[in-house]
Amino acid sequence: MLNTKPNIDDADTFYAELIAIYDKHTDIECEVISARLVLILANHIGDRKILHEALKLSKNVLTV
């Protein structure tokens, strides 16, 4: 089951690091960075059921 509850140690620092990787990049470069990050993390997770659930959840955000 996909964990959607807060689960990141030092979340504020992680958020700052996440935002920093986009600094001084074009919109297209930011999209590439995001896509690479998603694929790297998806590979780390590896569980297709979890990944499928995450895809469904992220798609639902667009309809809210």
Confidence at residue 60, expressed as pLDDT on a 0 to 100 scale: 80
- The residue written with tokens 């960075």 in the block is 33
CB burial of 23-53 (b: ≥16 within 10 Å; e: otherwise) equals: eeeeeeeeeeeeeeeeeeeeeeeeeeeebee
For residue 63, pLDDT beyond 80: no
Interval 2-58: pLDDT, tens = 999 999 999 999 999 999 999 999 999 999 999 999 999 999 999 999 999 999 998
Q: Report residue 52 as tokens.
A: 């499928």
Return the DSSP state at 21: T
Contacts of 51 (CB under 8 A, 6+ apart): 42, 45
